[in-house]
Amino acid sequence: FLQVCRSSPERHGDDDMKVTAVLIVCSCLVLRSLGKPQFPEQEKDPRFWNSWAQKTLNNALMLQTLNQNKAKNLIFFLGDGMGVPTVTAARILKGQLKGQSGEETQLEMEKFPFVSLAKTYNTNAQVADSAGTATAFLCGVKANEGTVGVSAAAVRSQCNTTQGNEVKSILSWAKDAGKSVGIVTTTRITHATPSAAYAHSVERDWYSDNEMPAEAVQAGCKDIARQLMENIPNIDVIMGGGRKYMSPKNQSDVEYPDVAKHNGTRKDGRNLVQEWIDRTKDQKGHYVWNKTQLLSLNPSNVDYLLALFEPGDMTYDLERNTETDPSLTEMVDVAIKILKKNPKGFYLLVEGGRIDHGHHEGKAKQALYEAVEMDRAIGRADLMTSIHDTLTVVTADHSHVFSFGGYTVRGNTIFGLAPMLSDVDQKPFTAILYGNGPGYKLVNGVRENVSTVDYQENNYQAQAAVPLTMETHGGEDVAVFAKGPLAHLLHGVQEQNYIPHVMAYASCIGQNREHCSKGSGAPGLRPVLSSIATLLTVILILC
C-alpha cells in the first residue's frame, strides 16, 4: 500500500481531491493492517517474556562482584551527535538490516553492563557544540563552545586568551604514563573531537593557517594541523581524513589531482605529512592514504602509523568506495593490533564523526548507517580485547533535534511512513522528523506531500518544523555505556567532564594515582574504605 501511496495521482498532475482520496485509502489499509500481529508468535506467550527477564535478572545479579582490576587499556568511542533517539533508531536499523523487525535487537554498546547519563552543556552554552564537549570528555574540564583543549577562561577566536589556559587531555596523560595512544575518526583528523586530544586552540575551525586570521598567526597561535605534529609528536596511530590541511597551498591531492577544492591549504608552505614521514622513517613509521595500503601493513612491523584517507572528511559509509576507503571497523582493527603490542597498554579514541554530519544535513539515513557502522567497530574492539583489563566507554558529545514517532507498527521500516495521515493537512508523514533543518519544504505554500518523493533514498532530507540551512544540536543528556575495570563508577547522571577522570583513575594515569601504589590498581581503595569504617566505629563507641 505504501507503493500505491507513492504512485498517487498527484505525481501525474491530477487534482488535490484525487490525491486526498488515494491517501485516505492508503491510510485505511495501514490502519487495517494494525489488527494483524506484526511480531513473532512466541511473543504471545508470557513465558517468553518471563524467561527473558529472568535471564536478564541473573546477569544483573552477577554484577554484584564488581570489576576492580586496573585498566591496562582504555578505549573511548564517541558517536558525534549520537543522542538517545539516534541510538534507538540505529538499534532498529541494525535489526532490520538482518531481516528482523528491529525493535528487539541489541547494539553492541547496549550489551555493556553499566549505563549512565552525561550533561552536555558548555560553560557558555545550554545546547553544546562538539569542541567544548570534546574538551570536557577528553581533558576533564568544561569549556566554552568552539574552543578545544583550553579552559573556559579562553575566549573563542581571541588568540591572546590561549596562553596559560591550555589543558591536557587523557591521551596526553596516557602517553606520559608510557602507554601507546591512538586516534581514529571518520572526520578530518583536525576536526573538533580529535583535536581536543592534542591541540589547544581558541577556535575549532583553525584547521590550517589558511583558516586563521593574519593577526592570530602573527600573535603566535598555531593552527590545529601543526599542533597535531608538534604538541605530542609521538602519537602512535593517527587515522582519518584531512590531507589538505597538511599540505602546501595549491599542492594537488594524491587521490584527486584535478580537483582544486582538494588541493593543499597551508600558507606556510610546510608539508606536514612529509615531515612526519622523515621523522619516523627509522622508527617503523608508515604513512598510507588508501585501504589497500592500510590492510597490507603487518602490524607487528608498525610502531607509528599516519593514515589520511581523504582531503577533508571521509565519505559516508553508505557512499564509501569499499575498494579504496576503509570502514571504521577496519581502521579500529588495525589500530588495536598496533597499539596492543605495548606491554603497558594503550589509550584509543575512536570517533564515529559523521553521524553528526548526517543529522546536520537532515539526512537521517546517512546518520543512522554511520551509527550502525560504529557499533560494528565496537564489536570488533570487544573481540580483540578483554573485559578484565580493558575499560571501554561509548558515549556521544551531544544530541540532535532528531526524532521518530507517529505510532508506527512493529517492524515498520525506520525510514518509512507513519500509519496515519495528518488530521490537519490530510497528508502522510515519515516516522523520522527533525525539529529544524534543511528538510523544511513548502510546495505551493503548503507542506510537501512525502508520498510523491522517494523518502527512503540515501540522501532524503526528512521534513523539519523550522527552516534552517543546517539542523542544530539537541540539548538533552546523552547515554554513557561502560564495561571493564571500574566501569561502575560511570553511574547516575554526571557532568560530562567526569568521564576522563574515571578512565584515568581506572588506569592509574593522570591525577589520583595514590590508590595504585597499594597493589594492582583499584583494589587499593578497599583498605582506605576499611580504615574509614574502622575509624567511624571507634568514634561511635567512644561517643
| Cα gap 94→100, rounded to integer Å | 9
Contact 447, 427 (CB under 8 A): yes
Q: Sort residue 141 into left (φ over 0), alpha (ψ -120 to 50) or beta.
A: beta
Cell numbers given for 149: 583543549
Contact criterion met (CB below 8 Å) for 483 and 113: yes
Amino acid at 280: T
Let me know if 130 is a catalytic residue: yes
Distances (CA, A) of 504 to 99, 182, 206, 529: 41, 16, 29, 20
Please indicate if the annotation marks 20 as binding a ligand: no
Distance CA 190, CA 173 (A): 20
Q: Determine whether the annotation assigns residue 359 to a binding site.
A: no
Cα dist. 43→49, 96, 108, 211, 408 in Å? 7, 18, 23, 57, 18
Q: Parallel, antiparallel, or unpaired: how do β-strands 285-288 and 304-308 relate?
A: parallel
325 labelled binding-site residue: no
Let me know: does 107 contact 79? Beta carbons within 8 Å.
no
What the block records as the C-alpha cell of 103 is 525493535
Residues near 413 by beta carbon (within 8 Å), at least 6 away in sequence: 96, 456
User: Binding site annotation covers 488?
Assistant: no
Q: Which amino acid type is present at position 298?
A: N
At how many degrees (to 10) do helices 364-384 and 84-97 cross?
80
Identify any residues that bridge with 150 across adjacent strands, giving them in sequence order. 166
356 among annotated binding-site residues = yes
DSSP tag of 65: S
262 has binding-site annotation: no
What CA–CA distance (Å, rounded) separates 456 from 430?
10
Residue 307 has phi, psi (to 5 degrees) of -130, 110
Beta bridge partners of 474: 399
- The grid coordinates listed for 114 are 553499566
Q: Which long-range contacts (CB under 8 A, 24 or more apart) does 104-109 make?
A: 107/375, 107/378, 108/375, 108/376, 108/378, 108/379, 108/382, 109/77, 109/375, 109/378, 109/394, 109/481
CA distance 40 to 48: 11
12 is in an annotated binding site: no
Take residue 510 and report the three cell numbers written for it: 593522570
Q: Is 382 marked within a binding site?
A: no
Asked if residue 19 lies in contact with residue 12, where contact means CB atoms within 8 angstroms, the answer is no
Active-site residue among 8, 27, 130, 169?
130
The response to whether 473 counts as a known ligand-binding position is yes
Q: N- to C-terminal Cα distance for the chain? A: 79
Q: Which residues are annotated as a binding site for Zn(2+)?
A: 80, 356, 360, 397-398, 473
Catalytic positions, please?
130
**Which residues are part of a known binding site?**
80, 191, 193, 351, 356, 360, 397-398, 473
Which residue ranges are tagged as binding site for Mg(2+)? 80, 191, 193, 351
